Structure 1
Amino acid sequence: MPKLTDTQTLILSRAANRPDNLAMPLPEGLHGAAAKMSVSTMIAQGWLEEVDADMRNGEPLWRETGDGHATTLVVTDAGMLAVGIEPVVVKTMAAVRNRAAEKASSKIPTLTPTPRSGTKQAEVIALLQRPEGASIGEIVERTGWAPHSARGMISGVLSKKFGLAVTSAKQADRGRVYRIDQQSI
């Protein structure tokens, strides 16, 4: 077994006992340059690994990478062995993380959301399902929304969330007219 400092032993032991094998949060009082030096040494030794943080599940952050991503620290097989723990749990959590990443990168939604009847969303869908479709002005008039909200509803909710194929065409008398492709329903 390698020679570990008390701080390294504490970080690795805590991470090994967490179900997700996260090394974060670090022990109380360890921050700044001391935390960076300790973690950098453990990463160099192969005991910790930086992985993308799952912000939706509230994983604690180690650092932000500057490109809008955040990372957290996970104990590796070598880190588990360094504190005398069998790394089976690490392999299981790695498999779970990989499955979650594959699922997130897949464009196939797991649940298909449906709009509630009697809502403004349902009104907009009804307008766009008409053969003549609807312009942003008509949607704004019917719903009372601002034009940017109507466009956001079309691109964000209808296209991305509900997976409806919304087409648009410019008409001389009405401006840009949006329609839901009936085959996407």
Structure 2
Amino acid sequence: MPKLTDTQTIILSRAAARPGNLATPLPKGLHGAAAKVVVTRMIERGWLEEVDADMRKGEPLWRETGDGHGTTLIATEAGLEAIGIEPVVAKATSASRKAKPNPAPKPVAIRPGTKQAQIIALLQRAEGASIGEIVEATGWQAHSARGMISGALKKKLGLAITSRKEANRGTVYSLDA
């Protein structure tokens, strides 16, 4: 049997007692960076698995994926074996709960006339746009323009935006076709 920490043993034991071998919620007092370290190590060892959370059943979330969905944690067959529990139920539960691959993202309609549409138009130009040019066009602060590029455009809309340094313009962002 592998060597488990007390925290890992508690997480797996509680998961074995829950329907569907849910490992969440984690023990009281285990949160933040400490929780992330413990869970990451357990996933690396194959003791836990991250799967889509069934929000209709009220399953606790481990983390949000940013697209309106979340994931939860379940104990795997190897995790139950690590604490000495027969993994018959784990195999069936794990197979039925595997995270399904995300379907192709739906095309997002950009409302014309918005600042987001202005920024996209600037980025689509052959020469791209620097933060200074975006600030000038929108009236925003530089940090807000960078936040729009990384958050709304890259993460939420999934646009492929590249950046490059130019001597006279600074960092120039462009939208890949």
| TM-score range relative to shorter protein | 0.5 to 0.7
Q: Secondary structure at the residue paired with 1:2?
A: coil
**Aligned letter for 2:64?**
E
Alignment of 1:90 with 2:90, yes or no, is yes
Alignment of 1:9 with 2:2, yes or no, is no
Extract unaligned runs of 5+ from structure 2.
Answer: 101-177
Counterpart residue number, 1:77: 77
Structure-2 separation of matches of 1:88 and 1:16? 11
Alignment of 1:56 with 2:56, yes or no, is yes
**TM-score normalized by structure 2?**
0.53
Per the TM alignment, residue 92 of structure 1 is displaced from its structure 2 partner at its CA by: 2.7
Q: Deviations over 1:131-181 (max 9, x none)?
A: xxxxxxxxxxxxxxxxxxxxxxxxxxxxxxxxxxxxxxxxxxxxxxxxxxx
Q: Secondary structure at the residue paired with 2:50?
A: strand
Q: CA RMSD in A?
A: 1.7
Q: Secondary structure at the residue paired with 1:73?
A: strand
Query: After the TM superposition, which residues 26-41 of structure 1 pair with which residues of structure 2 at under 5 Å, given as runs?
Result: 26-41=26-41
Per the TM alignment, residue 25 of structure 1 is displaced from its structure 2 partner at its CA by: 0.4
Per the TM alignment, residue 22 of structure 1 is displaced from its structure 2 partner at its CA by: 0.2
**TM-score normalized by structure 1?**
0.51
Structure-1 separation of matches of 2:64 and 2:42? 19
Per the TM alignment, residue 96 of structure 1 is displaced from its structure 2 partner at its CA by: 4.7
Structure-2 separation of matches of 1:97 and 1:37? 23
Q: Secondary structure at the residue paired with 2:22?
A: coil
Counterpart residue number, 1:22: 22
Counterpart residue number, 2:124: none
**Aligned letter for 1:71?**
T
Work out which of the two has the higher radius of gyration on C-alpha atoms and give 1 or 2. Answer: 1
Query: After the TM superposition, which residues 145-160 of structure 1 pair with which residues of structure 2 at under 5 Å, given as runs?
Result: none
Structure-2 separation of matches of 1:13 and 1:51? 19
Per the TM alignment, residue 91 of structure 1 is displaced from its structure 2 partner at its CA by: 1.9
Structure-2 separation of matches of 1:92 and 1:44? 21
Structure-2 separation of matches of 1:40 and 1:23? 13
**Aligned letter for 1:11?**
I
**Identical amino acids, percent of aligned pairs:** 74
Count of aligned pairs: 100
Per the TM alignment, residue 69 of structure 1 is displaced from its structure 2 partner at its CA by: 1.6
User: Contact 2:74–2:94 (CA<8 Å) still a contact in 1?
Assistant: no
Per the TM alignment, residue 19 of structure 1 is displaced from its structure 2 partner at its CA by: 2.0
